Amino acid sequence: MKFTKMHGIGNDYVYVSGFEQPVVDPAGLAKRVADRHFGIGGDGLILILPSETADVRMRMFNADGSESEMCGNGIRCVAKYAFDHGLTKNNPMKVQTGRGVLTLHLDVDRGKVHQVTVNMGQPILDLSKIPADAAKLRPSTHESMRQLSFDGPAKSGQPNPPPMDAVLVSMGNPHAVIFVPEVQSIDLNHLGPLVENHAAFPRRINAHWVRVVNRGDVIMRTWERGSGITLACGTGACAVAVAGVLTGKTDRKITAHLPGGDLKLEWRESDNNVYMTGPATEVFSGVWLED
């Protein structure tokens, strides 16, 4: 199987073109190729497929084999692959995702895509559509937040953390945004699974801890459902931009500083859509030798 390794500010996936070859059991394949010791290594698997409603279709599988609706860093790489490898030369480009068909504007230099701006659509704030079970959440002191409590026996050998306030946003996939004074001391390996698997989230959730530097800059760290700690999360950065506005902490245009690099975000009042701009990088290609 031919594959290409790509990343968006360190959020790396194995990309396979379904235009050239069929992929059987993508969930199982994702677990094998994503393994950083026995496979190619990555945060998961992304398939680039023909589409009847767009230029290409994207399907994204996490490292544990679960399929996600959307990946912000991944979709920029899909656009780069599709343009650079001649699947389509449309600019803007339409990509079909689990979120629907999204529009991407490509920054092309000498025939190659270097940066992409994605119209990520409108944020979803209705708890039932995120989805989140309101009955398993507590009210917060801020109307835009819900409180997550961690009752019952500790599951990790460490004591359960105190309740934490989170802004819940879906960008086609669910996110919990937690504002903190600083992010470096957050124990993601302990807190990430607790938030991801909280009883309030029937499809699990991506969790982000965020420090507001000023009204135009934030620093964030991420725990992604099905993949764990990642260097970047595009849909998560979009959710952070929305959460910052809802809580009055940031302006509508911000730069999110992630461990893997920076993303530019804007939640526009004119159409209520979130726009994300960032790079896409092709690293190498190869052949996966199936068992």
Residue 10, Cβ density class (10 Å: 0-12 exposed, 13-18 middle, ≥19 buried): middle
Q: Which of 71, 242, 254, 276 is catalytic?
A: 71
Q: Which of 33, 124, 233, 238 is catalytic?
A: 233
Check if 77 is active-site. no
Can you state the angle between helices 72-84 and 234-246, rounded to 10 degrees?
Answer: 130
Specify which residues 166 forms β-bridges with. 146
**Strand-pair partners of 168:** 176
**What secondary structure letter does DSSP report for 128?**
G
DSSP state of 40: S
Q: What three-state secondary structure class fits 63? A: coil
Catalytic residue flag (residue 233):
yes
Q: How far is CA 71 from CA 62, 163, 195, 225, 243, in A?
A: 10, 28, 19, 12, 18
- Torsion of the alpha carbons at 97, 230, 175 and 70, rounded to the nearest 10: 0
- Enzyme catalytic residues: 71, 233
